[in-house]
Amino acid sequence: MTTHAWERRAARSGEQSREWDESECCGPIRERDLETLTARFRSERQEHGPRTADAAWLDGPFDEWLHRLDDGCDDDAGDDGCCGDCRVDGDRLDAGGRDCDRFADFDDDDDLPCPPLRRDSVAALAVAMRETLPARDALIMSMIAGVECDHASMMQLAADPHADRTRLRLATMLTRSLGDEHMPDERRCAAGMTMLAQIADAVPRRWRAQPCAAMAYVLWWLDDDRAALYAVECLAYDEECTLGGVVLSLLERGAQPSWHR
């Protein structure tokens, strides 16, 4: 039986973060670094406008995110899916210096790179999700809508969320995804969940609520009982996180996506 990355993460939820090691390419990200990035993000939004600034901020991270969803590998990775910076004496290590199974969600742990996202993308996505919820929603849609939610769609959802065409696009994808009676693409969702778990593991508490909320929603959509665990964890970090409450409400009412009815 395959143990999923987010299940292993839940078991470690009480562990303290390790001390920062500057030699790590993808280790825990310091609070002061995220505060600096947040200030820069806000400044760019004020100077260039949210639409332009958000698009510039998310273009690269979204491209990398989709590459992982589609292929689960890196152009710079070796045959086993690891980047050179994540090797120590030729052994595969993850962001915390542990065995690469930490990020394995499938029977073949070579399906995912080690680690899934580069550290700068982790930081950029963590900041964006906390500052503007459409960035989080675009990540969710890329998992549940599948290949229909491509890079252009993600950018539109995140950078221009209030436009009529964006609302229509989102409604169409949601209707097709949540009303589809076919099984969801579990491999794609698992790859996305692994990246969200990587983000939540790497950042301080203030930045964890939104990746946990996204995981909770996708797990609900997959009809996975662990949705409640992540919804509760999300609300522990931010009691005002609406999506965490939405997931708990869906679970309490016994609501299910169409494919499971």
Domain boundaries, the chain: 27-72+116-260
Residue 185 has pLDDT above 70, yes or no: yes
**% of the chain exceeding 90 in pLDDT:** 55
pLDDT band for 74, please (50, 70, 90 cuts): very low
Residue 135 has pLDDT above 60, yes or no: yes
Q: Which of 230, 228, 229 is nearest to 255 (CA)?
A: 228
pLDDT band for 173, please (50, 70, 90 cuts): confident
pLDDT at 40: 98
pLDDT band for 169, please (50, 70, 90 cuts): confident
Interval 136-164 mean pLDDT: 92
**% of the chain exceeding 70 in pLDDT:** 70
Q: Tell me: the pLDDT tens digits for 242-260? A: 999 999 999 999 988 777 7
pLDDT at 183: 75
Task: Give pTM, 2 decimals.
Answer: 0.77
